[in-house]
Amino acid sequence: MKVKISRKAHFNAAHRLYRKDWDHAKNERIFGKCNNPNFHGHNYELIVSVNGEIDAETGFVMDMKVLKDLIKEEVEDVLDHKNLNLEVPEFEELNPTAENIAVVIWDKLRPHIDSNNELEVVLYETPRNFVTYSG
Is residue 60 at the binding interface for a copy of itself, with CB under 8 A as the rule?
Answer: yes
Active site residue 73: no
**CB-neighbour burial class of residue 47 (10 A; exposed 0-12, middle 13-18, buried 19+):** middle
Q: For a copy of itself, what does the binding mask look like between residues 7 and 26, x meaning CB under 8 A?
A: xxxx-xxxx-x-x-------
Q: Does 42 bind a copy of itself (CB under 8 A)?
A: yes
* 116 belongs to the binding site for a copy of itself (CB under 8 A): no
Quote the least distance from Cβ 112 to a copy of itself, whole Å.
18
Least CB distance from residue 123 to a copy of itself, whole Å?
10
Per 3-state DSSP, the chain is made up of helix, strand and coil in percentages (nearest 5) of 35, 35, 30
**Dihedrals phi, psi of 40, to nearest 5 degrees:** -135, -170
List, as one string, the DSSP characters of 80-93. Answer: TTEEHHHH-GGGSS
Specify whether the CB–CB gap between 135 and 51 falls below 8 A: no
65 binds a copy of itself (CB under 8 A): yes
Say how many residues make up the chain.
135
Residues annotated catalytic, as ranges: 34, 81, 125
Residues lying near a copy of itself in the complex (CB under 8 A) are found at: 1-10, 12-15, 17, 19, 30-34, 36, 38-43, 45, 49, 54, 57-61, 63-65, 80-83, 86-87, 94-100, 102-103, 126-133
